[in-house]
Structure 1
Amino acid sequence: MAQPQAPLGTRLRCIFYEPTKANLWAGLYPIKGIFFFLAHPFFYPLVKARLIPAFLLSAFVLLNLFFWTYLPQVAFLALFHKGSSAWVNGTFLVLGEGSAIVAILFECFLADESQVDIFDATLVYKGYEDLVRQFRPVAEESLNDPVRRLGTPTRSSVYGPFSFRQIAEFIILLPLNFVPFFGVPIFLLLTGYRAGPLQHWRYFKLLDFDRKQRNAFAKKRRWQYTWYGAVYLLLQLTPVLSMFFLLTAATSSALWAADLETERRRQEAVAQQGDAQYQDEPDDAV
């Protein structure tokens, strides 16, 4: 599951000096996912039972962190910062700590099944039920509701695996928030480097990719995944709403997967056409 890791210098250079249109466009998918989710009420039943415990859990963790740890951390940051930046970086530091704690608890006990349903329903809505049918039955389109069309999974279905390495990197990189002004964006981009590909774990499974294929696919789009992951993590730092954005992330990753699948199939069709023309040429010559 681990992705190939480039040296830190290479990662920073590529992140900041290769902001191509494709990379920046990939970073918009988490925002598109929110609007898509809100615009399609068939998603609402999937999260109705999750929202109340999610809000309570998030509020409980953040209130305790801000009450017990915020001022001590700001005081410590003030040793390295000038002006008000210690308060800003301290806020992001506590939000990052809260995000890590809540994400572990929420993803482990509440979210994954709903994320799988949201991801699959989005792909069905986009016309890629053939991928979803490998893991669960999909009813006829007469229901006109992608969520209701989904049957019970017949194979193990996980939206994203628990990654101890991702959590460890998240915690290890938290001290970057000590750096005035630039610490927060650097932290988001470096942690997004790993978070992005993990958001497409379900897509890779639907394609039946092995580890080598998964790594090659992610490596080819490494910086797109980095920018996507950075925006995804930024939304996870939003107080209380972070758990809602965790669910809309499944929509955004599915929208991106649908676009990638469209391009992948187009390229395969072009390649097959080229092979067919090449095979016809000897007959034409005769």
Structure 2
Amino acid sequence: MAPPSSGATQTIFVLPAKAVVSASFLYPLKGLFYFVAHPFLYPLLRTRLLPAFLLSIFVLGNLFFWTYLPQVAFLAIFHYAGAWLNGTFLVLGEGAAIVAILFEAFFVDESQLDIFDSILVEKGFEDLVSTRRPVAIEGDNPVKRLGRPTRSSVYGPFSLRQIVEFILLLPLNFIPIVGVPLFLVLTGYRAGPLQHWRYFKLREFDRKQRNAFVKHRRWQYTWFGTVALMLQLIPVLSMLFLLTTAAGSALWAADLEKQRRQQEVQSHEGPEYTDDPVDDPI
């Protein structure tokens, strides 16, 4: 048997590696590193950092002081050693829900919107962002190039259904061993697509197009939402990760947009020209 060609070898190793690197669950983490590496985003965090920190401390402090031990005692009825761990995740989940509702309602959505749009601008998709807000042609700072939105703009819509489902799914933490992972995945299933609400609006998707787009990438959005939720369960830093996850969402949207445009160009170009001789059929 002939050894595989260099092209085949490259395909065998490069394509799986590329699939891992571009996996959707990595984008929340990519957003964190991107945020740290790009100082133009720092002012968007600085104005939110103190209220986020104080709000998280206040909510989590009260929940752990008043509800942690009673919930651990209740969980101990169903499972013993795991009661402390599951009780911790239960309280952190409750805290994340309360803080997210308060913080997103009053502080963070505009910052998430600016983070998302500025990263798309930095990646070269000014034309996409300009459908909803003016973008200055010149300037080194993508945030400062953004004008005020000319149309109704939110990063993510207020979803009562998501909040209700989050609360209803909290008791899954009572289940030994599998309860916490199941809670995270099911919650991520609903939360993932909402992270791209802004992208859907920039693409001018109607409801049918949005549902079809999400359905085609359902598991990708689920893993993205699951990792994003896990980051938000980290005490005190949860609100920081709301902002860095918006950065990760924008990076994923930029990659999807780049892929879409490349496919459009290829479809218009038609088959590639070749000078290889063709046998005369006569």
- What TM bracket, shorter-length normalisation? 0.7 to 0.9
Gap runs ≥5 in structure 1: 1-20, 278-286
Determine if the alignment matches structure 1 residue 140 to structure 2 residue 140: no
SS in 2 for 1:149: coil
Cα displacement string for residues 149-193 of structure 1 (whole angstroms, at most 9, x for unaligned residues): 111111111000001111111111111101112111111001100
Return the structure number with greater helix share.
1
Which residue in the other structure is 1:116 paired with? 113
State the structure with more CA Rg: 2
Q: 1:266-277, aligned counterparts within 5 Å?
A: 266-274=262-270
CA RMSD of aligned residues (A): 1.6
- The count of residues paired between Structure 1 and Structure 2 equals 255
Structure 1 length as normaliser, TM-score?
0.86
The CA deviation at 1:257 is: 0.1
Structure 1 contact 24–227 (Cα < 8 Å) conserved: no
Gap runs ≥5 in structure 2: 1-18, 274-282
Alpha-carbon separation, structure 2, partners of 1:187 and 1:272: 45
1:131 to 98, 105, 128: 128
Structure 1 contact 29–255 (Cα < 8 Å) conserved: yes
Q: 1:110-259, aligned counterparts within 5 Å?
A: 110-141=107-138, 143-259=139-255
Structure 1 contact 23–227 (Cα < 8 Å) conserved: no
Which residue in the other structure is 1:55 paired with? 53
The CA deviation at 1:138 is: 1.0
The CA deviation at 1:22 is: 6.4
Determine if the alignment matches structure 1 residue 39 to structure 2 residue 37: yes
Alpha-carbon separation, structure 2, partners of 1:77 and 1:119: 40
Give the partner amino acid of 2:172.
L
The CA deviation at 1:139 is: 1.1
Change (3 A) 1:65 1:120: same
The CA deviation at 1:23 is: 10
Which residue in the other structure is 2:25 paired with? 27
Which residue in the other structure is 1:100 paired with? 97
Determine what percentage of the aligned residue pairs are the same residue.
71
Structure 2 length as normaliser, TM-score?
0.88
